[in-house]
Structure 1
Amino acid sequence: MLTVSEFVFTERSALLIAMEVATLAVACLTCVHQWTQAGKIRGSKRFVLKGVAIAAALFGLWSTYWVATRVVAPPPPDGFGISLTLLAFVTGVVLTGIGAGMSIRDRWNRTRDLVTGLENRANFIDRLDREISAHQARNEQLAILCLDIDGFKDINDLYGHTTGDHTLRDVASKLTTVLSRGQILARLGGDEFAVLMPDIESPTEVRILAERLQRAVAAGLQVKDLPGSVSVSIGVALYPTDAGDRAELLSCADTALHRVKEESSGSCRFFDTTMGDKLRERRTIEQDLRQALQDDQLYLVYQPQAKIGTGEVTGFEALLRWKHPVRGDVPPGLFIPIAEESNLILTLGEWVLRTACREAASWTRPLTIAVNVSTRQLIDEGLAELVQSILADTNLSPQRLEIEVTETALISDPSRARQTLKRVKALGVTIAMDDFGTGYSSLSNVREFPLDKIKIDRSFIKAVHANKQAAAIVRAVRLLCDGLGLPVIAEGVETADELRFLINEGFTDAQGYLLGAPVPASDIGPLVFENVIPLPSARLRIVSEAAV
């Protein structure tokens, strides 16, 4: 969350300057009135000075209103923030600072990305919807440019998320210097940015802007000892040439961006009809997925979570699978991102949560069941009520349910995510951060959310022997969790070497194919009944060696 000082410097003090102008102008108007009453100003001078002071006061108030509602963020529908700001000016400088600051900071948290200070995805989409409607009415064109930082994952993996966040801010700053009035820059999430370019005459001016953006980032922006400078890839889509609505337009720009990343990072591609095949394929999968929900093509498998030393099962994670009548087994990595790009993820997420709770309630032992929640679900205001309703319908104890959220989901809208998780946790449900280390938050952010458990991403576990930094990160996370009193579980344990490392580092809980592969509900009975995973002899030797 931004501090007041960070907010001021991020907006280059525009709001405070406007507030000072208004306050000074009101003070001058008061002085002129007092001098007139005292007889120090007479004749036409008093009318001139009063007129100037009144004009300055009105300008100050208007400029503050304009900055607060245009530079910082659009006003909320109820106008509460504007009313509070104007009331603050009437009541004096102190109330102005407190009232406007609180109002605008709240608005900032709703509409801005906290890492870069740019507009966030939700606010950008709202702006894009309005711009499309306006351009449709005027029969004009606009462009969307989706930008992605090349090699950003390497920056995070090699130098940590603090350096990654600095890189995001530096890139945002460079991009901002290129934009003209009316052009909007936002961070969509991760290392992806978007530019809205309104009122375009031809694709040529869009290409010129794209080249300027790439040159601005490449000019002097380098990360520590990485070879070469930072670069961005750009995908472009035009309205209404490529798409007739916001969702399709963003999808086209994203498709063009992915094509750039596949072919030659650091360049720019416009969406064209050859890319339409891929887009149509995504739409087909989305339609088939909707049908799958109705035709019982979806099912859950359960991967055990266990104690490393004994094989004692402590719970299961529910994983979604899709058996298509023609395609066969559809990889989750293919259909889940497509569901997340549409509102289908809300329906899909509810199905997973309800099915997992119902099946877990039938187990003979009260083991925990972990269910993943997407970004869309997390910021949905009705998530807590949905969880409460499903728990009541399935008769599952809240203490047995574990909601897993990713770092990326948490930082997409931190304020709303925090409130949602607090409400879910108040039900008695456990909250776990999944895939820790792959998002873009810092270790210190763990304390800002009501978390009960941390799961270290499998990419770090896999790299502990080949990458010293990955091993150091795993150690640091365990120490952090110990200090915060949070249980930690290692994901994706697949080899004996990985298991040996975890035991030597003091880990007690893990999940992965070495401990147990995901199994369908029909095969889960023995694991639940016996409450233990049979230990292979190789694993027994590892545990024995570590114990000695």
Structure 2
Amino acid sequence: MDLSNAPSIPFSEAGRLSALLDLEILDTPAERDFDELTRLAATALGVASSAISLIDKDRQWFKARHGIPFTETPRDVAFCNSAVASRDLLVVPDATLDERFSSNPLVSQEGGIRFYAGAPLIATSGHCLGALCVFDPVAREGLTEAQRAMLMDLARLATDLIECRRLRNMGEIAARVVDATSDAVVAADRKGTVVYWNPAAERIFGRSREDALGRHVDMIIPARLAKDYREMFERATAGGGRGDLGGFVEMAGLRADSSEFPIEISLARWGSGSPVGGFAAIIRDITARKAVEREREHTQSFLDTVVTNLPAMLFVKDTQTRQYLMVNQAGEDAIGRPASEIIGHTDRELFPRNGADYERRDSETIASGSAKVFESEFIRDDGQSVHFRTIRKVIDGPDRPGQYLLGISEDVTATRLAEAEVLRLAHYDSLTGLLNRTSFTDGLYGLVRKGEPFAMLSIDLDRFKAINDQFGHPVGDVVLSQVADRLSEAVPQEGWVARIGGDEFIVFLTGAQLRERADELASSILNSLADPFPTDRVVAHVGASIGIVLMPQDGSTTEQLRENVDLALYRAKRMGKGKACFFNPEMDADAQDRRKLETELREAVERDEIDLAYQPIFSARTGQITSAEALARWTHPDRGPIRPDIFISVAEECGLIDRLGEQLLRRACCAAQSWPDHVRVAVNLSPLQFHSGRLIETVRRAIDSSGIRANRLQLEVTEGLVIQDVDRTFQQLEELRALGIQVLIDDFGVGYSSLSCFQRFPFDKVKIDKSFVDEIATSRTAKAIVQAVVGLGSALGMGVVAEGIETEEQMRLLIEGGCTHLQGYLLSKPVSAHVFQQMLARPHNFGIKATRAA
């Protein structure tokens, strides 16, 4: 394509986007010609990746791509956006050295773009649609003149493909429309020989396509009118006689059986000149319309009397043909069509969706012989819904008794809308439009009462509270609405969706093979909800957990089913985020056992039986004990030792965590008071202790009652805590710091917080999670993360504690890496308060200095 003569137009982003939309190429499936072109560009220029990039309003979308795993990017990171702006070849030898692109995430990520070249796609309209781009993770000198010319040639070829594709599609659409139209479409060459004859022409003139093609157009003209018709056709072919072009002219047509009938004909030229070209005609059979017009003339005096000053919609139909004979002005306004489009047609012709039902009501009225009242919803052509209350009555006409069906319709839309809104508020959720909790309960009872098998999926969103806390409820509402849309799309016709709580949804599925279909549906929902949720402010990430029960296998009453689906959901959450779990009887046994364990834990807390063990933390520089982490321990008289992760989670769930936390904090402070003055005690805090509002007072009482100096108490918080109710959390951490207490961040590296938390609060120490320590000797990634955390701690003046050390090699690497403190079974397991007191009495370094020396 030669664009040397393409118009040079002033830049208009609106015009450019309009030109791009007119091509109807965005979000279309892959096409071989485009894919081969991108592969050719990558091969010819020796790069890893290439693409035909189209720049939409807010994104860059790839019509074809080679060596690129994704189909689009935000526009603000697209290199091709610069090529579009410049409308010239853009070459970036090394993006990391180019201030326009060096901070671009497509450049800064691992394996990011180093070399880039993009040639603009200039359409014949003069607008730039995007670019043919090539790029590579390796920088290069640039492009030779031959390569630059090749890339520009390939871009012109890509633009040709785009525009030819549009023309090809338009031709296909036009051909289908002409074949489907009810009007005859006939084309003839300059000599009058028929060269095109559509299916409607076959039907109207009674001649097959094979019979018509190649014959003179005179065959559709009555002999008495042949001379006048030929002159009209010749003027149309030559371009003269505007009265014969564009509009419709009433004529007489001739069928194959020699019968004449009224037609409307409109002519247009085709082709650009001799010997190519001729005329085309659109021809309509207006026999039925003419008959209706004659009938209308006979009844005009009657209609004038009926419609005078009538404010309601009034219509009259013929009781035999069911065709409309009259519709007044109020009727035109109500239906949204002029009377000319209604009269002479039946309800089946006018309203394909509901016409049969309207005719059934007419038949009931005709058969009854008395007035009948009906009410229905009518959808206008503009999509507006109108509710009519219609009285139908048969009346006599001038030709026969019961000739006409008279209808008077009252618009009751406002009344019905008000009633529908009351009903909607009673049964549907106002935010999402899904069924509400009341409808869910009624539906569940109904299915159980009928004994109909079904699957019930209980869906609980993950991390939704964090979204509300961080970004506010308006963003949360947008996310909930999008969740509802995705659930509605995922659930088949045999199911329905309800929102029963803030971020809780229920899906019902009926039919056969419920287990298999419920499993597939759960996977589909989890995949759908794992995708990002774009909002005006942020892109949110949620995810979900799903519990599933089957009726009647998992319960035959609503109470059993709801209890069991909650157990399945609870198990899904314990399995990790983004999981689905079917109920099984073992869950019920687990739940009973857990309820019993909760009762026993309450008794143990009441008797203050939860003890502490102390795991020493050593200085990497001196090898001496500097502090100890207080770890909760519970030895059950029958069950034996209960794992902390089990009884702590039970305490959090049943509301015991505040009291248990207060007991353990007081016990740890009292024990530490007897230790040497330089040895501190570290106590873990549950996130729920921050929510109660009593944490600061609890800590202050523990310090006061034990007599320990506040700076000898260390409180450990998990990384995940800092994203929950951010402002309130950091406010409480500041209050704890004001008391003189040290604050540590635990399990760093495995949560969801960002480095911005260190800007909000200066932690005293950061503890590297055991998972990185386990792999430091075998994983470059783990080692790099440890080094990064150590560097961060050094720069911010924080101590760095490595926990979970189990081998000499781990300890050596952590010391060499710069960790300031060490903790783990290699050095000491958690011990009782008495044993720890003995360890403090005999100075030793547990081999740490020897390791440093080695």
> What is the alpha-carbon distance in structure 1 between the residues aligned to residue 696 and residue 615 of structure 2?
25
User: Can you list the C-alpha shifts for 1:207-230, whole angstroms capped at 9, x where unaligned?
Assistant: 97875563255479899xxxxxx9
**Alpha-carbon distance between aligned partners in 2 of 1:297 and 1:279, rounded to the nearest angstrom:** 24
Q: Secondary structure at the match of 1:305?
A: strand
Partner of 2:785: 473
Which one-letter code corresponds to 1:178 in the other structure?
R
**Aligned counterpart for 2:734 among listed residues 422, 434, 459:** 422
Q: CA deviation at 1:522?
A: 1.3
Letter in 1 for 2:615: Q
Three-state SS of the structure 2 residue aligned to 1:354 is helix
Deviations 1:244-263 (A, max 9, x none): 78xx975542125557x8xx
Deviation at residue 492 of structure 1 after TM alignment: 1.1
The correspondence for 2:846, drawn from 520, 527, 535, is 535
1:439 aligned counterpart, secondary structure: coil
**CA shift for structure 1 position 540:** 4.2
**TM alignment of 1:5-404, pairs within 5 A:** 144-146=458-460, 175=483, 177-180=485-488, 183=499, 195-197=504-506, 211-212=520-521, 214-215=523-524, 218=527, 234-236=546-548, 240-242=558-560, 250-255=566-571, 268-404=580-716
- Provide the residue aligned with 1:159 in structure 2: none
1:511 paired with 2:823, answer: yes
- Alpha-carbon distance between aligned partners in 1 of 2:528 and 2:444, rounded to the nearest angstrom: 37
Shift, 1:132, TM fit: 7.1
Query: What one-letter code is carried by the residue in structure 1 that aligns with 2:670?
Result: R
The letter of the residue matching 2:559 is T
CA offsets 1:174-216 (integer angstroms, 9 cap, x no match): 8554135863797xxxxxxx63238x69799999787556325
In structure 1, what residue type is equivalent to 2:828?
G
Task: Indicate conservation of the 8 Å contact 2:444/2:558, yes or no.
Answer: no
Secondary structure (helix, strand or coil) at the match of 1:179 reads helix
Summarize the Cα distance change of 1:401–1:258 in structure 2 as closer, same or farther, 3 Å threshold.
closer
Aligned-partner residue type, residue 367 of structure 1: V
* Cα gap change, 1:445 to 1:284, in 2 (>3 Å): same
Q: Give how far 1:457 is off.
A: 0.8
Contact persistence 2:545–2:569 (CA under 8 A): no
SS state at 1:348 partner: helix
**Whole-angstrom CA distance in 1 between matches of 2:573 and 2:642:** 24
Query: Would the aligned equivalents of 2:486 and 2:529 in 1 still touch at CA under 8 Å?
Result: no
Tell me, what secondary structure is at the counterpart of 2:593?
helix
Higher percent of residues as helix: 1
Does the CA-based 8 Å contact 2:549-2:582 persist in structure 1? Answer: yes
Which amino acid in the other structure matches residue 816 of structure 2?
N
Aligned counterpart, 1:499: 811
Which has the larger strand fraction?
A: 2
Q: Which amino acid aligns with 1:490?
A: A
Check conservation: 1:303, 1:318, Cα contact below 8 A. yes
Report the alpha carbon displacement of residue 291 of structure 1 after superposing the two structures with TM.
1.6
Shift of 1:273: 3.6
How far does the alpha carbon of each residue in 1:497-536 deviate from its partner, in whole angstroms, 9 at most, with x for none? 1111112112221111222221111112233334x44424
Check the 8 A contact 1:457/1:490 in 2, yes or no.
yes
Q: TM-score, normalised by structure 1?
A: 0.59
1-structure distance, mates of 2:836, 2:771: 27
Secondary structure of 1:524's partner?
A: helix
Which of the pair has the greater relative contact order for Cα pairs under 8 Å at 6+ separation?
Answer: 1
**d(CA) in 1 for partners of 2:841 and 2:439?**
62
**Contact residue 145 and residue 237 of structure 1 kept, 8 A:** no
Equivalent of 1:457, from 769, 778, 787? 769
Deviations 1:300-341, CA, capped at 9 Å, x for gaps? 111111112322111111001111111111121322222222
Cα deviation for residue 454 of structure 1 reads 0.7
Looking at structure 2, the residues matched to 373 and 237 of structure 1 have their Cα atoms a distance apart, in angstroms, of 36
Q: Which moved more, 1:369-378 or 1:274-283?
A: 274-283
Alpha-carbon distance change, 133 to 448 in structure 1, aligned in 2, over 3 angstroms: farther
Report the residue type matching 1:454 in the other structure: V
**Does the C-alpha gap of structure 1 residues 132 and 327 become closer, same or farther in structure 2, counting only changes over 3 Å?**
farther
- Change in Cα spacing, 1:492 to 1:140, as seen in structure 2 (3 Å) is same
Q: 1:133 to 1:484 in 2, by over 3 A?
A: farther
SS in 1 for 2:559: coil
Cα distance change on mapping 1:449 and 1:197 into 2, 3 Å: farther
- State the distance in 1 between where 2:633 and 2:838 align: 21
The amino acid of 2:524's aligned partner reads: R
Structure 2 residue aligned with 1:526, among 808, 813, 838? Answer: 838
Which amino acid in the other structure matches residue 778 of structure 2?
A: A
1:362 CA displacement: 2.5
8 Å Cα contact 2:548/2:581 also seen in 1: yes
- Kindly tell me: are residues 214 and 360 of structure 1, through their superposed partners in 2, closer, same or farther at Cα, counting changes over 3 Å? same
The answer to whether the 8 A contact 2:548-2:583 is kept is yes
Query: Structure 1 residues 254 and 544 mapped into 2: Cα distance closer, same or farther (>3 Å)?
Result: same
C-alpha distance in 2 between matches for 1:341 and 1:438: 23
Question: Over residues 340-364 of structure 1, what are the superposed CA-to-partner deviations in whole Å (9 max), with x where a residue is unaligned?
Answer: 2221122211111111111112224
Classify 1:133/1:300 alpha carbon distance in 2 versus 1 (closer, same or farther; 3 Å). Answer: farther
How many residue pairs get aligned? The number is: 376
Say if 1:336 and 1:482 are closer, same or farther in 2 by CA, change over 3 A: same
Is 1:308–1:510's contact at 8 Å kept on the other side of the alignment? yes
Shift in alpha-carbon separation, 1:376–1:178, aligned structure 2, 3 A? same
The Cα shift of 1:278 comes to 1.1
- Identity among equivalent pairs (%): 34
C-alpha displacement of 1:382:
1.2
Residue 429 of structure 1 and its aligned partner are, at CA, apart by: 1.0
1:485 maps to 2:797: yes
Residues 548 and 565 of structure 2 are in contact (CA less than 8 Å); yes or no, is this contact kept in structure 1? no
When the two chains are superposed, the root-mean-square deviation of aligned CA atoms in Å is: 4.1
Q: For 1:173 and 1:465, locate their aligned partners in 2 and report how far apart those are by CA, in whole Å.
A: 47
Counterparts of 1:490 and 1:369, CA distance in 2 = 16
The answer (yes or no) to whether the contact 2:614–2:836 under 8 Å persists in 1 is yes
**Letter in structure 2 aligned against 1:529:** A
Letter in 2 for 1:452: D
Kept in 2, the 8 Å contact 1:178–1:213? The answer is: no
Specify every segment of 5 or more residues in structure 1 that has no aligned partner in the other structure, as ranges. Answer: 1-69, 73-130, 150-170, 187-193, 224-229
- Per-residue deviation, 1:544: 0.5
d(CA) in 2 for partners of 1:252, 1:306 = 44
CA distance in 1, matches of 2:441, 2:525: 32
Contact 1:178 1:212 in 2 (8 A): no
User: Which one is further off, 420-429 or 446-455?
Assistant: 446-455
Instruction: Provide the C-alpha distance between the structure 2 equivalents of 1:273 and 1:527, rounded to a whole number of angstroms.
Output: 49
Determine which structure has more spread, i.e. the larger CA radius of gyration.
Answer: 2
**Partner amino acid, structure 1, of 2:826:** L
* Equivalent AA in structure 2 for residue 411 of structure 1: I
Aligned residues of 2:626 and 2:678 also touching (Cα < 8 A): no
For residue 638 of structure 2, give the secondary structure of its aligned residue in structure 1: coil
Partner of 1:157: none
